[in-house]
Structure 1
Amino acid sequence: MTGRDGGADIEPIGNSPVVILVRPQMAENIGTTARAMANGGLFHMRIVAPRDGWPQERAWRAASGADRILEAAEVFETVDDAIADLHHVYATCPRPRHIVKPLLTARGGAIELREATNRGLKVGLMFGPERAGLDNEDMARADALIRYPLNPAFMSLNLAQAVMIMAYEWWLTEDSTPPRELMTNETHVATKGELENFMDHLIRELDDCGFLRNEQKRPGMVRNLRHFFTRGEVTEQELRTLHGVVTELVNRRRVC
């Protein structure tokens, strides 16, 4: 489906949590929330009693192509109506409240959400109005609260940022991206054979120019050079460049 402004073709993936915006105050914040949701694979939005009504064109302008989410958004008059068909509801809680409920981090909440959806249950995430957040009556409807462990001296987030944190943690629960990898682009990590070929070239020329003339120190110096090039993942392209460097140095030395 293409949105009214030519937005991206975004379709729901699996049984993802419903994002419930309770009494949101600005259309732009609803739009940027849709954008954050799409980033993390959350596609179901419900809006409870939006201050300025719905739909609002400004939301689409702020969504950066996440039109599908806005077009499918459902509007409800009350929180009870919005959560009636859900099995579990989690509420974000920016401030300590006098409420006895399980309190989770964003990561802990995402893990529980994923476990519930994997069992086929429908779950929701409630976010409160921009100015004050959810009130006690709203949170009384939730099974558990989620509070982000941020800088205690400054924990202010706008609505889209709050949703983005949960969307990111939700996505990570099933993401297999390694925490670190080497980008090799058009080349590849050098094989031991390619590396040994370069070392032979380098050591041969170092012998010829006299750099390794100290016979007692030579084995240690060669080992140090070998350690240097095996300590990281040198690419084939880098070795070709180094071959060229050594060859050019040798040619210039011969000319001189």
Structure 2
Amino acid sequence: MTGGRPVGGALLTPPHGESPIVVLVRPQMAANIGTAARAMANGGLFHLRIVAPRDGWPQPNAYAAASGADAILDAATIHPDIRSAVADCHRVFGTCPRPRHVIIPVRDARAAAQDFRNINARCLRLAVLFGPERAGLEADDLAHCDTLIRYPLNPQHNSLNLAQAVMILAYEWWMQAETAPPRLLQTNETRIATKGELEKFLDRLIAELDAAGFLHNPPKRPGMVRNLRHWFERGEVTEQELRTLHGVVTELARGRMVRGRFAGDVPDPPWEEKT
């Protein structure tokens, strides 16, 4: 018994519907994975994915620290990178103490939990990224997110370990009423695209931009690619919108080929820089 309640695996069966997926990105210590699973169990979060754990998996010390949340660790899946960990998700949130130089929605833990309930009610799958213990999520990690979560704590001592960060969000999820009204997005006959579908489009778009010379400046290229990702990740792109965007890229690529062959017949666009 812990706090008057049993901690056996029998109580760790997910309820009807799907709770948010906790994604631990490059966790460094087995004990922190275990205590994060313990925090998840306390707050009713049941789905754990682990990205590139430093010491591999499984790890006995994780189970020792989980205090009975073994079922969550048993069901955890291991992924080589964030992209594969969230490919089947429709929304991805990321925890970030001080988001800088990013134009992206930012929520506190309570508001994020409200969003989780609304998204869950719409049968969309969402994931929440938690970064490594030492430095948190990096800029390239945050580029996979459409929303950031910030914990507005004491600015003179704003330091959480991994399990504490998970616990705050798990608590807020647990405290949200199940009857929170969903925020509906009218999609008609299409559907919200998964992150995997969006990644395929972004790969194609970036490849075409490389071929066109738009990303020709090596020092600026990573930041430009991240800006493109943030732009498309910011909202819930539908599958029909992605099909339209694929068509746009196809026509632009054809135009680039024609322009390359008949450069003398096609004038430069007015916004193109002159060298």
> Which bracket does the TM-score occupy, shorter chain normalised?
0.5 to 0.7
Contact residue 14 and residue 46 of structure 2 kept, 8 A: yes
Contact residue 23 and residue 130 of structure 2 kept, 8 A: yes
- Corresponding position: 1:170 with 2:164: no
- Corresponding position: 1:74 with 2:77: yes
Match of 2:104 in 1: 101
Match of 1:89 in 2: 92
- Corresponding position: 1:35 with 2:38: yes
Pairing of 1:127-166 with structure 2 (within 5 A): 127-166=130-169
* 1:140 partner letter: A
Q: Could you say what secondary structure the match of 2:9 adopts?
A: coil
1:20-61 alpha-carbon deviations (Å, 9 max, x no partner): 000000000000000000001000000000000000000000
Bigger Rg over Cα? 1
- Corresponding position: 1:8 with 2:44: no
Contact residue 95 and residue 150 of structure 2 kept, 8 A: yes
Q: CA deviation at 1:119?
A: 0.5
Contact residue 117 and residue 178 of structure 2 kept, 8 A: no
Pairing of 1:203-222 with structure 2 (within 5 A): none
Q: What is the TM-score with the length of structure 2 in the denominator?
A: 0.61
Q: How many residues align?
A: 171
Q: CA deviation at 1:175?
A: 6.8
Runs of 4+ in structure 1 off by over 3 angstroms are none
Match of 2:262 in 1: none
Q: CA deviation at 1:136?
A: 0.5
- Structure 2, unaligned runs of 5 or more: 1-6, 180-275
1:204-231 alpha-carbon deviations (Å, 9 max, x no partner): xxxxxxxxxxxxxxxxxxxxxxxxxxxx
Contact residue 18 and residue 120 of structure 2 kept, 8 A: yes
Q: Could you say what secondary structure the match of 2:173 adopts?
A: helix
Q: Could you say what secondary structure the match of 1:163 adopts?
A: helix
- Identity among equivalent pairs (%): 60
* 1:134 partner letter: L
The Cα RMSD (Å) is 1.4
- Corresponding position: 1:63 with 2:66: yes
Q: CA deviation at 1:7?
A: 4.3
Q: Could you say what secondary structure the match of 1:126 adopts?
A: strand
C-alpha distance in 2, partners of 1:77/1:140? 17
Instruction: Indicate how the Cα distance of structure 1 residues 112 and 175 shifts in structure 2: closer, same or farther if over 3 A, else same.
Output: closer
C-alpha distance in 1, partners of 2:172/2:8? 25
Q: What is the TM-score with the length of structure 1 in the denominator?
A: 0.65
